[in-house]
A and B are shown apart, each in its own frame.
Chain A
Amino acid sequence: MQVLLTSQQLAESTNQLANALHARHKNLSDVVFAGIQQGGAVLGANIVAELQKLNPSQKVQYGQLDITFYRDDIRKEILAPDTMNMPFNIEGKTVVLIDDVLFTGRTIKAALDTLLDYGRPAKVELCVLIDRKEHRQFPIQADYIGKTIVTDKTDKVKLVNGEVVLI
């Protein structure tokens, strides 16, 4: 087991991502944020809390996206769904998807399918903590990246006890 980000570095990365989002989205009236269940929803909550501090005059709109019903491997295993919470209209808005790890790109593909059933956003951006760039199976890349790492395909990247580790 190798530590990729200590809890201190994790907090720094979260702040960096919040700052990068703040730099590009000064006006939050047309932007909503959606964390992908489960890891992305936890990270998203932290990023959004930081973003709210950087921009206290405007309310950050944040929801959680569950992609269970849209997974392309659904026939292999039936999974119990997580909570879906999209308490805003995304029609014509910029939606920032937030996930912890970008790996094959299949989760993001499913997240895009899910999102489009809620309306037609003007633009979708992607924010991830960890990018495992060389394993992509779909033409998908992130707009905001905490850290890019080189891994084997069989490796697992997980959040354990507040640290990001490679197993």
Chain B
Amino acid sequence: MQLSTRHLLGIKNLSKEDISLILSTAEQFKEVLQRPVKKVPSLRDVTIVNLFYENSTRTRFSFELAEKRLSADTINFAASTSSAAKGETLLDTVNNILSMKVDMVVMRHSASGAPHFLAQHIPAAVINAGDGINEHPTQGLLDAFSIKEKTGKLEGNKVAIIGDIMHSRVAQSNIFLLKKMGAEVTVCGPPTLIPKYISEALGVNVSYNLKETLEWCDVANVLRIQLERQNQVLFSSLREYSIAYGINRSLLDSLHKEIVIMHPGPINRGVELDSDVADSKQSIILQQVENGVAVRMAVLYLLSGRNNA
């Protein structure tokens, strides 16, 4: 079995079979990560560049660790310390790197569609590590993997995505994936942070009421409020956001069931999640991070064979 694509640009164009293959392969890589030697020789002859035009800690470390655990050679590129700062174009930068015999490109970029552009112009396999407000496919995959691991399934699950849906590539990748796999999705947040036609466009429920949403869902994926958006008058203050959409212990205890809490990180403690929620046994936030490495290993492994085919 093989993936139907040679790049991972987004969840949008993946088939249900592709997603299942990535998730089942990731299960086997999770086993690799429990061994005395947490490494396999599969990508020993593959060189991967991590091209980060936007800051990242978790995703970059996770990809780099996944690459090393697969025995690939890796080089890291941060836009701030490179020739991009001297005005070199994206395509020039990448072609220069590829001329040094690089096989795969993992890229994060602030412009939506940047990895799609790259995939059209270079021979290497491209993996999107987050592009603007479009998609963050490996986050969507690792969230799905974590939900499946915790609840045993994806189909039929009720998942709430809470917070800034408008600017979130994590939300978009999650919605595409969960809908494809047969889960129900509700997005919840202030009206200014939820796209007006999202219900029609993506087939999700919309709610502006946090308590009702939490009563409905099995899993709540809580997004980070991007502090840099405070000045865009989308909500009046962090304090007000926290009162209306922050999740605290007393709110969770008032529900008639125990729901699973997720967050892609980094958490603004006391804004979207209180510490006694983020650190509780209902939270699978650190499992998400752990699973991220296995899921990225699966993606890199499955996409590594196509160049020589």
Contacts and interface: CB of A to CB of B under 8 A. Distances in A.
A113 interface: yes
A74 B70 CA distance: 12
Given A81-B28, A117-B35, A118-B35, A69 B42 contact: yes
A114 to B, nearest CB: 8
Contacts of A84: 28, 31-32
A148 interface: no
Interface stretch (B81-89, B187-195, B230-238, B300-308): B300-308
Nearest to B32: A69
A155 B41 CA distance: 30
A74 B304 CA distance: 10
B1 interface: yes
B201 interface: no
Interface residues of A, number: 20
A80 interface: yes
A99 interface: no
B104 to A, nearest CB: 13
Interface residues of B, number: 22
Given A78-B2, A80-B21, A113 B41 contact: yes
Contacts of B301: 69, 78
B40 interface: yes
Contact of A75 (B28, B36, B40, B45): B45
A78 B304 contact: yes
Contacts of B25: 80-81
A119 B32 contact: no
Contact of A78 (B31, B37, B39, B305): B305
B282 interface: no
Nearest to A117: B37
Given A117-B37, A117-B39, A75 B32 contact: no
Closest 7 CB pairs of A and B: A78-B305, A117-B37, A69-B40, A81-B28, A69-B42, A80-B1, A84-B31
Interface of A: 66, 68-70, 74-84, 113, 116-119
Interface of B: 1-2, 21, 24-25, 28, 31-32, 35-37, 39-42, 45, 301-302, 304-306, 308
